[in-house]
Amino acid sequence: MKIILIGFMCSGKTTISSILGNKLGMNVIETDELIRQKAGLTTDEIFQKYGEVGYRELEIAVAKEIKDILNIIISTGGGFVMNNITIGYLKPQAKIVYLHTSFDTLLKRLEGSFARPLFNNKEQAKKIYDLRLPLYKYYSDILIE
């Protein structure tokens, strides 16, 4: 089986997956990292060149490529749940863990973090948060506060 971490930007997916990987002796895959490798560009550059739609297409391609890998922890990008095809590739034989974080906590964390293309202002981010919340809940087997 595999463990997939989902959640909003700065919910702690990368940090938790690395701790979990060490504890369980399992390898960790970062889908954002694979996307960057595939495109040969940074996340910002991908958004600038291909837009969000292009980013999501790369996300689908990466999900398809790794769908048969088992005994692995997969840390996803915050928008992984935006497309049913993407998450659908990985759902079989997976436990999907949603790291739930309040919007206020995310705001505080994002202030001190590197720039994210989809987080240019608070209002836009809140809209994305509200849109995604039910999707994270829908796709997850386990919610961790």
Which residues here bind ligand S3P, judged by CB under 6 A?
9, 13, 32, 43, 77-79, 116-118
- Closest to ligand S3P by CB, 25 vs 28, is 28
Q: Which C-beta is closer to ligand S3P: that of 33 or that of 67?
A: 33
Whole-number minimum distance, CB 141 to ligand S3P, in Å? 19
| Shortest distance (Å) from residue 11 CB to ligand S3P | 7
DSSP labels, 56-116? HHHHHHHHHHHTT--SEEEEPPTTGGG-HHHHHHH-TTEEEEEE---HHHHHHHHHTS---
Report, in Å, the least distance between residue 119 CB and ligand S3P: 8
Residue number with CB closer to ligand S3P (77 or 94): 77
**Kind and range of the H or E element at 2?**
strand 2-6
